[in-house]
């Protein structure tokens, strides 16, 4: 493939894979508006976030396996069609339940592209491959970081519907380019010889059902306690069911031959487990701020969606600026120094939230912790990817990458739950400071973890 086609292929894949992180973060500025439009409690509107991340956590590793059978080009193009249709239909939803359903469909479609996008570039871009993959990483991390700014501007001018309609030109352009530039998959006959039973076993359908059902039951039970302010037989039973399903999931994954999440690999490679735990904690920190701060600004400080997006831009710009610098630093010194500095920055940012951000402080003060977390996000995005490659044997690097993405989504789900528990249905400056204390403790744990490995 010549250089011009390489660039076109990079653009087509980049336009597709950015849709998942962009949609995951744009919604943070729309939560207050959706709560108002559908007259929901905050713990209820949060399901639009939970649904997206649970679906992404399931869909990405599943679609990675499916691409080995059906072909990466087919999965990528199918993902674009699904994301396009979901983005058209979501703004027309007659109720919040329908909107959540279309968000799930959107998550599956965008996850199909993320699951195979990196593999497409790795296979077909043979010149300066490392640089090409780093560009795609910037598409992913950059889209997540600037999402709140993009969402704020869109909602200010065209209301919440625009955060779905904005996907349409990206999906259409990516489809046209991908149809022309991604080489056709070699003929595959494996799928035709698989029975439905073998196909379900290959994808670990039982593990997927236990994973998703356990998460939904736990989240529903915990949030219902927070919403009602009391323990009832119903929500205790839900939490109990969630715990039992999660335990059954763990037992199943340890016994099955083709697990959805290969827990046995963690036991054999503890360094890989350490990287994934750290990645989950980093995402708890980053997305707690990403989801909690915009709604605080809008509901407590009465900042418009537009100006909230402007303030959140400090997060995105700092992340984008830090990413290429982090690449050079990690290449020269390894991932640990960058991870240590990243943890220090998140600790300082959390401390700033605790000390300076209150109901009377200028709203511009929030830019300091946003900048600290933005730089940290740029550093960890590169450093943890490098640490993953160092800690994972080459023969399981594909599996390791899938688990790495699942760790990201578990972190985002936990961050959403944390904001819901601390803030509940009444955001306040005191609640934001409580979040700052919790984030500071987690960041200090990361400082300690990385200091010992320097």
Contacts of 24 (CB under 8 A, 6+ apart): 52, 53, 56, 144, 147, 412
pLDDT digits (tens, 9 = 90+) for 315-332: 888 888 887 788 788 878
Contacts of 88 (CB under 8 A, 6+ apart): 164, 165, 168
The larger pLDDT score, comparing residue 105 to residue 178, is at: 105
Question: Could you tell me what percent of the chain has a pLDDT over 90?
Answer: 16
Task: Indicate the range of 97-106, 177-186, 334-343, 346-355 predicted with least confidence.
Answer: 177-186
Confidence band (pLDDT; 50, 70, 90) for 373? very high
CA separation for the pair 450, 454 (Å, rounded)? 6
Q: Give which of 292, 442, 437 is closest to 354, Cα–Cα.
A: 437
Average pLDDT over residues 280-299: 88
Question: Could you tell me what percent of the chain has a pLDDT over 70?
Answer: 88
CB 142 within 8 A of CB 319: yes
Which pLDDT does position 442 carry in this prediction? 94
Q: Where are the alpha helices (DSSP H) in 256-334?
A: 263-268, 270-299, 305-333
Which pLDDT does position 295 carry in this prediction? 83
Tell me how far CA of residue 286 lies from CA of 6, 251, 319, in angstroms: 33, 31, 11
CA 200, 413, 11: angle at the middle one, nearest 5? 75
The larger pLDDT score, comparing residue 87 to residue 141, is at: 87
pLDDT digits (tens, 9 = 90+) for 51-81: 888 888 888 777 777 776 777 888 889 999 9
Burial of 129 (0-12, 13-18, 19+ CB in 10 A): middle
Contacts of 136 (CB under 8 A, 6+ apart): 10, 13, 14, 17, 117, 118, 121
CA separation for the pair 31, 384 (Å, rounded)? 30
What is the dihedral sign for C-alpha 25, 26, 29, 34? negative
The larger pLDDT score, comparing residue 54 to residue 446, is at: 446
Work out the mean pLDDT of the chain and round it to a whole number: 82
Is the pLDDT confidence value at 230 over 70? no
Question: What letter does residue 1 receive in the DSSP assignment?
Answer: -
Which pLDDT does position 345 carry in this prediction? 94
CA 209, 65, 140: angle at the middle one, nearest 5? 95
Which pLDDT does position 187 carry in this prediction? 60
CB 338 within 8 A of CB 379: yes
């Amino acid at each position: 493939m010549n250089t011009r086609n390489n660039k076109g292929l990079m653009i087509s894949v980049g336009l597709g894979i950015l849709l998942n992180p962009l949609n995951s973060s744009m919604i943070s500025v729309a939560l207050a508006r959706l709560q108002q439009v559908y007259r929901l409690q905050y713990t209820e509107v949060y399901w639009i976030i939970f649904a997206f991340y649970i679906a992404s956590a399931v869909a990405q590793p599943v679609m990675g396996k499916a691409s080995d059978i059906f072909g990466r080009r087919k999965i990528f193009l199918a993902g674009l069609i699904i994301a396009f249709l979901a983005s058209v239909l979501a703004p027309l939803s007659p109720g919040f339940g329908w909107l959540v359903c279309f968000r799930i469909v959107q998550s599956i479609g965008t996850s199909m592209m993320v699951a195979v996008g990196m593999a497409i570039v790795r296979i077909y871009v043979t010149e300066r491959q490392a640089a090409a993959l780093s560009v795609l990483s910037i598409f992913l991390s950059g889209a997540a970081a600037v999402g709140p700014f993009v969402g704020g501007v869109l909602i200010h001018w065209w209301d919440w519907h625009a955060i779905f309609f904005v996907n349409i030109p990206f999906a259409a352009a990516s489809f046209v380019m991908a149809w022309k530039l991604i080489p056709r998959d070699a003929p595959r006959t494996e799928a035709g010889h698989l029975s439905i039973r073998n196909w379900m076993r290959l994808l670990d359908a039982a593990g997927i059902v236990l994973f998703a059902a356990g998460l939904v039951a736990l989240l529903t039970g915990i949030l219902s306690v927070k919403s009602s302010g009391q323990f009832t037989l119903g929500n205790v039973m839900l939490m109990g069911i969630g715990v039992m399903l999660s335990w059954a999931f763990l037992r199943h994954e340890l016994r099955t031959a083709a697990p959805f999440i290969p827990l046995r690999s963690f036991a054999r490679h503890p360094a890989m487990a350490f990287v994934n735990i750290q990645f989950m904690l980093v995402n708890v920190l980053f997305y707690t701020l990403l989801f909690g701060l915009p709604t605080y600004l809008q509901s407590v400080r009465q900042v418009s969606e537009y100006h909230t997006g402007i303030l959140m831009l400090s997060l995105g710009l700092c992340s984008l600026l830090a990413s290429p610098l982090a690449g050079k630093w990690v290449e020269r010194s390894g991932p640990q120094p960058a991870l240590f500095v990243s943890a220090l920055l998140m600790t300082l940012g959390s401390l700033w939230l605790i000390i300076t951000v209150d109901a009377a402080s200028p709203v511009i003060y929030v830019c300091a912790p946003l900048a600290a977390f933005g730089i940290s996000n740029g550093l960890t995005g590169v450093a943890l990817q490098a640490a993953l490659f160092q800690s994972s044997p080459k023969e399981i690097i594909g599996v390791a990458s899938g688990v790495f993405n699942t760790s990201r989504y578990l972190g985002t789900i936990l961050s959403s739950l944390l904001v819901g528990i601390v803030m509940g249905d009444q955001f306040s400056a005191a609640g934001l400071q409580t979040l700052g204390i919790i984030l500071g403790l987690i960041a200090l744990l990361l400082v300690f973890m990385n200091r010992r490995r320097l």
